[in-house]
Amino acid sequence: MKKTPGAPSPERRVAISIQLVADFKSLLKIRRAVMAQATIIGARRSIIYRIILAVEEACSNIIRHAYRKHEPKTICVDIEATPQKMNIVIRDVGKAFDFQKYPARAVAQNAIRRRSKGGYGIHLIKSLVDNYEYIRSDNGENHLRLVKRLRN
C-alpha cells in the first residue's frame, strides 16, 4: 500500500477516556479532547465540528437534566477513533433518559409549536451523527454511544 505524504495511516487508531465533573466548565476540556483525537486521525474540520457539537449537546443535556439539583457528579467520555470513524461513549450515573425513545423530528416540532428555547438537542444530535445508541446498564450507568463515519 502506497502512503500519501501527510495522509493519516489507515491503521492508525487513537483512544482516550476522560472523567470530569458534570459542570458546564468541563465542556471546554471535552471539546478539546474530541478535537485533538479527531485531528490526530486526520478528520476533516467540517466533520470535527459536527462531532464536537453533538458531544457538547449531549453533555450539556446530562449536566442540565440528569444531575439537576444534585451535588456535582461526573461525566466520562470515551473516544475511540480511526481514519474511518469516531466512536464516542458518554457515560453518567444521572437520571435515566432513553434517547432512542424520542423521535428527533417529533421532539423538535413540539418545541417549535411551543416556541420553547429548548427541545432541539435530541434532533440536533441525531442529525449530526451516523449512529447512536442509548443503554442504561444494570449498575445504573447511562451510556450514550455516538458514531460518526469519517470516510466512505
Span 102-133, pLDDT tens digits: 665 555 455 555 555 555 778 889 899 999 99
What is the structure's pLDDT at 3?
47
Fold topology of 14-149: Heat Shock Protein 90 (3.30.565)
- The tally of CA atoms less than 13 A away on the side-chain side of residue 90 is 31
Sign for the pseudo-dihedral over CA of 131, 121, 16, 47: positive
32: its cell numbers: 478539546
pLDDT per residue as tens digits for the range 51-106: 999 999 999 999 988 886 766 699 999 999 999 999 999 999 998 887 666 665 55
Residue 14 · residue 42 · CB < 8 Å: no
Comparing 43 with 106, the larger pLDDT belongs to 43
